[in-house]
Amino acid sequence: MTALHVPARPEAPTAAANPWITLVAVTGGQFLAVLSTTVVSVALPTIGRDLHADATATEWIVNAYVLVYASLLMLSGGLGDRFGRKGVFLLGMLTFALGALIAGLAPNVPMLLAGRVIQGVGPALLVPTSLAVVRAAFPDERERAVAIGAWSTSSGLALAVGPILGGVVVTGLGWRWVLLLNVPLVAVFAAVAALVVPRLPRTPATGRFDWQGALLTTTAIAALSFGLIEGRGQGWASAPILAAFGLAAVAAVAFVRWERRHADPLVDLTLFGHRGFVAANLAGAVAFFAFVGLIVYLSAYFQQVQGHSAVRAGLDVCAIGVAFALATPLSGRLVGRFGPRIPMVTGLTLGGLAVAGLLTVQRDTGIGSIWWLLAVGGFGIGLCLTPMTATVLAAVHPHRAGMASSVHNALRQLGQVLGVAVLGALAYSGPALSVTGLHHAFAVAGGSLLVMAVIAAAALRTRAVEDGVTLP
């Protein structure tokens, strides 16, 4: 395969004076942002009762956040590369906190939804830039692999522990504190980041910022996400859903055509001609497709089929999060020593086999019988996330780390939305969640991970080398 060569740049990224403190600050902010995609879901019944909201309104308390978050991801990485990653990261933190404050104090549903929309802008800004900061703060390749492992841990662990934390906070303090607790925590992480994160070199500009490309990609992702979110409720063949998918397709085609002509594009489309970059991004989407489906619908199974409380259901699936947290630091060390292929393929395979093993679940299956499958599944997915991210970052010069991070995070977020939509449609194939529907969801999720393992094994045939010299 032809190696990807990147022209020399006049500057190199500046390592942080305190890289590990920098890592704590940016991963802490990211943890809170990703946590808000799941932690609020536990509070929806209580919110509905307190604010007299119907089921559709309460669902959009989660969906509004996810939709805005996913839609703006591609834009934010380009903004960070061009205008400064530290500033964009801090802006994302402050926007996230402002939205949480408005939503937490909201006297009615419209105000709560407005707060969630504002809050959703936060992770779209801070998540891609946080990864770009981590990439620049650790010039040593092995240390960087460990740091990326910690970054991956924060995002996946946030999804895993969200239902547990949400249940505890709602039970002990009330639903408003699920939102309001973000404000002081964000203040701490933002203050630390402001002190320790260096001002990193920006991408040398060759023209105007690609606002047209940003508008087109935002439209495409927003329309696709809306269709996936609303498809099960409105009907996949309904006019609004078909219109949303049609708009997404038109905007995506227009985006590709525009980017090919733009002198300084938002996304360098030539990267998609290299199998390592494509495989790692596709693997990220598939992993989050299966991971979020596993957490959401296993939790629903324990609550709706076995009658457990929200907190008990969260504890039932905690083996996923514990194993995930153990795997990601190990994965970082493996990537630093052996490269991305072994941990990525091994993780995808373990995850696929574990999820497929859940086809044995029946109405009366207790957690004592399947906890080890949940642990293996969480360990496998945790093992494969760091090599995916490391491979994506290896494809670009440090100046464009925000762009690569935006692509990777956008596809992971779309995988998450797709997992909820597709696996939810299978699990709820009847009027309520059924064991048969759950089996169908597990078969699709497990099969997707195993197929992706085969693709990754074929694509990642050589070790990735940093700064665009060679791609796997």
Domain ranges of the chain: 14-197, 210-263, 269-472
**Which tokens is 234 given?**
């409105």
Note the pLDDT of residue 445.
93
**Residue 108: Cβ within 10 Å count:** 10
Alpha-helical regions (H) of 105-238: 109-137, 141-172, 176-180, 182-196, 211-234
Residue 465 phi, psi (nearest 5): -115, 140
Q: If we measure between CA atoms, which residue out of 77, 74, 121, 80 comes closest to residue 102? A: 121
Give the C-alpha separation, 65 to 412, whole Å: 16
Is residue 107 packed enough to be buried (19+ CB in 10 Å), middle (13-18) or exposed (0-12)? exposed
Using N-to-C axis directions, what is the helix angle for 85-104 and 19-35, rounded to 10°?
40
pLDDT value of residue 267: 76
Q: pLDDT (tens digit, 0 to 9) for every residue of the chain, 472 residues total?
A: 333 333 334 334 444 557 888 888 888 888 888 888 778 877 777 888 888 887 677 778 888 888 888 888 777 767 766 777 788 889 999 999 999 999 999 999 899 999 999 999 998 888 888 877 887 788 777 787 778 778 877 877 787 777 778 878 888 888 899 899 999 999 998 898 888 877 765 555 555 777 888 888 889 888 888 888 888 778 888 999 999 999 999 999 998 888 888 777 777 777 787 788 889 899 999 998 888 777 778 877 887 888 887 678 778 888 887 888 788 778 878 887 788 888 999 999 999 999 999 999 888 888 888 989 999 998 998 898 888 888 887 777 766 666 777 788 888 888 888 887 888 888 887 777 888 889 999 999 999 999 999 999 988 865 443 333 333 4
Q: Is 162:39 a contact under the CB 8 Å cutoff?
A: yes
Cα–Cα–Cα angle for 384, 388, 391, rounded to 5 degrees: 140
Cβ proximity of 382 and 325 under 8 Å = yes
Q: What percent of the chain has pLDDT over 70?
A: 89
Phi, psi of 210 (to 5 degrees): -80, 70
pLDDT at position 282: 93
DSSP calls for 22-50: HHHHHHHHHHHHHHTTTGGGGGHHHHHHH
Tokens found for residue 222? 């927003």
**Looking at residue 466, what is its pLDDT?**
39
Q: What's the pLDDT score for residue 12?
A: 42
Q: b/e map of 401-438 (b: 16 or more CB within 10 Å)?
A: bbbbbbbbbbbbbbbbbbbbbbbbbbbbeeeebbeebb
Report the SS3 class of residue 470. Answer: strand
* Token reading at 452: 């992706």
Amino acid at 230: E
Q: Taking Cα atoms as reference points, which of 298, 277, 275 lies closest to residue 442?
A: 298
CB atoms inside a 10 Å sphere around CB 315: 17
Which one, of 57, 187, 185, lies nearest residue 112 by Cα?
A: 57
User: How many angstroms separate the CA atoms of 2 and 42, rounded?
Assistant: 49
Query: Do 193 and 66 meet the contact criterion of CB atoms below 8 Å apart?
Result: no
Is there a shared CATH topology between the 14-197 domain and the 269-472 domain?
yes
Start-to-end C-alpha separation, the chain = 9
As beta bridge partners, residue 465 has 470
Calpha distance 369→169 (Å, rounded) = 29
The length of the chain, given as a count of residues: 472
What would the DSSP string read from start to end of 258-269?
A: HHHH-SS-SS-G
- As a CATH number, domain 269-472 is 1.20.1250.20
The answer to whether the predicted template modeling score (pTM) of the entire model surpasses 0.85 is: no
Q: Can you name the CATH fold of 14-197?
A: Growth Hormone; Chain: A; (1.20.1250)
CA dist list (Å): 434 to 90, 114, 196, 256, 420: 44, 34, 50, 41, 16
Q: Rounded CA gap, 144 and 465, in Å?
A: 13
